[in-house]
Chain A
Amino acid sequence: MAEEMLRIEGVSKSFGPTLANRDINLVLEKGILLGLAGENGSGKSTLASMVCGMQSKDSGKFYKNGEEYDPHSPSDAAAHGIAMVVQELGVVGNLPGIVNMFLGKMDKYKKGVAVDLAAMHRDADAVFEKWNLPKVPLNVPAGTLSIEQRKIMELARALITDPDFLVLDEISQALSQDNRQVLYKFIEQFKAQGRTILMVTHDLEEMMDICDQIAVLRDGVIVECKEAKEFTMDELKRQMIGREVSGDYYRDDQQEQYEDEVVLEVSDLTVEGKCEHISFDVHKGEILGICGLSDAGIHELGSAIYGLEHHEGAVRVKTSNTELKHPGDLVKTKGAYLSKDRDANGLMLDAGIGANLIIPSLVELSGPVGFLSPKKTKALAEKASQAFEIKSSGLNHIVRRLSGGNKQKVNLSRWLVKDLDYIILDCPTRGVDIGVKAYIYSVLKKAKAEGKAIIMISDELQEAMGMSDRIMVMKDHKFAAMLSRNCDFTEEKMMEVML
């Protein structure tokens, strides 16, 4: 029986009402590569960041080499031989690569007052040599390097501390094919020395190819963990997304149902680096789901539609025959948009519920001479608050103090209280408890019945399949497929198109 490198016992972590990881139990042996698989929001990155000391756990224990391990910072983790390459780029662009590699570790390179750059270069070169990594120019500002070069540099940086446990979070998506081969060779070399790697990746083929073991996370829980060769691709996919679909949670019909009239016509929409030549129509009374992996560009598409950034191509609102060029056109054409990140892009957290609820309606509520009647604004805010059952102590209740579910209700109701023709939603049930989720779905069903055109961008396949008439799948910023509720909504078909 191989020796134990890292043991994870009963670890849980919550962010407010959202349970990111629940009672995780996992053992990683020496000399293996374990892949963590799961949908967006399944808790993969949270687990990885807890292991490396970037986040603290709420409960449970870690054991490294048999000893209890409780890191409070990445430096703690490094001291125990654990290093990580994060998902977001973690370099300081205006500093040269060599400095980036040794940030926070410069004490041992001090030569008098100065820092011994030559010694740093020597040690850096040694790391590149030892692990056969392609050389990256280290004496130019890191910001001038390509994303690939930065990723490789981050890998080298993690290896400086000579770790025996490495966490790689979505590293391969930044690398081209030939560099991926280099990465795989590196992994072999690392394992051969009895060291362990925990890898988080979306690329299921890659995972099945190179991993020794695979653990599947779903809704914060490990649903399966076994040798990679014991998985079939189908089983892997099924474990990732399969869950009970309770009948009236989503829609209970299986047919596409919408009117012929097109409300929103998107033609050849292109935003540099985010979406390329996307075209589709949305009909009256239709719920169009949009799905894809995390880098497919689905979220950027949402804000691109109503002109938040400069775009090529055209988005036309057929009901008023206007083109959506600037964000202001959204309200003018009776549209609505809910961003995925409601705290940063949707809500004024330190203002009251009332102040938040009225913002999208101010144009309509204004009377002659721009007069905004306080009676009318209060009436609107109260109507929205009651219609959507927002639990609060009144309209002056500060939004920051609401639960995630109630915050989303504020976010949603401020738009839905208006007379709308079309709604664009991005992850409408993210970070929201089950009760509010069901409520939001019922609200959407009602909006659909009222003939509104709804675009629902979602990371949750079950949600998209449960609610949509059609689903547009995007991959690598491009259109991949348009699936129909009538026949194509199966997990297999979805995963096939997405991956």
Chain B
Amino acid sequence: MSKEKTLSVDPKKKRLQTQILVIAIVVAAFVVCHFITGGRLLAPNNLRTLLTQVTYPMIVALGMMFIFTGGMIDLSIGAQAILAGNVAAVLVEDFGLGYAGLIIGAVVAMIVCELLSASCSVFLGIPSWVAGLGAALVFEAIATIYVGNRAKTAGAAVVYLKHCQALGKFPTIFIIAIAVFAVAWFIFNRTKLGFNLRAIGGGGEVAEAMGINRVKTIMLSAAVGAVIISIGVITQLSYTGRFTTSAGMGSLSGIFKSLAVILIAGSFARIYNDAVGCVIGAFIVAGLFNVLTLMGVPSGTGQDVCLGMVVLVCGILSSLGYKGVMK
């Protein structure tokens, strides 16, 4: 006869209670800030801006989730995004390929770049963060060289997207972000790939003992992550009109907000599924920066100090209780 195992507190119910509590706190924080900013934070105009600003960090973080969970800390994503963004812009502006060029260009560029970067780590024995740094230098350089060359012929150093901007407008951009979240959540929580990836990331040797192919899972997940990030690139490109090239690892600053989001999601790991954690983290980060802007804190300086501090704090929070070796 089967017996029901009863526990002192139903774990599922307790988890749900904590989840609701955290969301309530975040919403409360928004309301408080609304008053601090003199009623501007949640005003309709600003709300549209805020929701638009949530999308890029959120989508990139969701993509990062597929790459980082397998153990690959690949920070060349920022440089890849810049490259993909410029490829897409060039296909639209110079080659007149319209939306097809925009979408296919970004997606393909991103997949190729990410798989190259992942291969360095998986097949060449280079630790993932070093491979990411090297790849970032390479991708940044490629973008700089190409755009530089284009400048000689076309006159402008930065590639501006002037057509096909519909995907960057509100509410389309936000709807796309939600759709991306839904797909990411689905893959992460309802498909074999998602389960295998999480098993490899969290299970030590258990995953391989159960017959999961580590290399195949990591590469496939990296490709999925790349596709997701490329969608973020498309929408962001459409919204801001350009992806400025950078050099000397400057591309890292482009994904810094997303890193903060992923770290926040990590510190919420016991409460929320990673995908949901990314959404909440994105709102926290975007909200924070929106408030800072409204309060007159300048970007590039004050805001980045806050960003650095937020990443540090999130890092500390997500490492609480970690007893192993941390290099």
Contacts and interface: CB of A to CB of B under 8 A. Distances in A.
Determine whether A and B are in direct contact in the complex, meaning some CB atoms lie less than 8 angstroms apart: yes
Interface of A: 54, 73-75, 90-95, 99, 103-107, 110, 113-115, 117, 128-129, 132-137, 139-140, 144, 149
Given A103-B210, A132-B2, A94 B198 contact: yes
Given A135-B4, A137-B11, A115 B195 contact: yes
A134 B5 contact: yes
Contacts of B209: 54, 74, 90
A133 B1 CA distance: 8
B207 A135 contact: no
Contacts of A132: 1-2
12 contacts: A75-B210, A75-B211, A95-B198, A103-B206, A103-B207, A104-B196, A104-B207, A106-B195, A132-B2, A133-B2, A135-B2, A149-B5
Given A74-B210, A92-B199, A115-B190, 14 more contacts: A73-B211, A92-B206, A94-B202, A103-B196, A103-B207, A104-B212, A105-B210, A107-B192, A113-B191, A115-B192, A129-B2, A134-B4, A135-B2, A149-B5
Q: Sort chain B's interface into a size bin.
A: 20 to 34
B3 interface: yes
A143 to B, nearest CB: 9
A140 B1 CA distance: 23
Dominant SS at the B interface?
helix
B152 interface: no
A74 B209 CA distance: 7
Interface of B: 1-5, 11-12, 15, 186, 190-192, 195-196, 198-199, 202-203, 206-207, 209-212, 269
A260 to B, nearest CB: 41
A92 B198 contact: yes
Contacts of B212: 103-104
Nearest to B199: A92
Nearest to B186: A114
B186 A92 contact: no
A139 B16 CA distance: 13
Contacts of B3: 134-135
B133 to A, nearest CB: 24
Contacts of A73: 211
Contacts of B11: 137, 140, 144
Contact of B195 (A54, A103, A133): A103
A106 B190 CA distance: 11
Contacts of B198: 92, 94-95
A54 B203 CA distance: 16
Contact of A74 (B15, B191, B196, B211): B211
A54 B211 CA distance: 11
Given A54-B209, A73-B211, A92-B198, A106 B192 contact: yes
A149 B12 CA distance: 16
A134 B7 CA distance: 13
A343 to B, nearest CB: 15
A103 B1 CA distance: 27
B202 A110 contact: no
Given A90-B206, A92-B202, A137 B5 contact: yes
B190 A114 contact: yes
Given A132-B1, A139-B12, A99 B191 contact: no
B202 A104 contact: no
A134 B211 CA distance: 27
A371 to B, nearest CB: 29
Contact of A92 (B1, B5, B203, B269): B203
A95 B2 CA distance: 24
Nearest to B203: A92
Contact of B211 (A104, A135, A140): A104
A136 B5 contact: yes
A93, A103, A105, A149 interface centre (most CB from chain B within 10 Å): A103
A92 B211 contact: no
A99 B195 contact: yes
B180 to A, nearest CB: 16
Contacts of A94: 198, 202, 269
A114 B203 contact: no
Contact of B202 (A93, A133, A144): A93
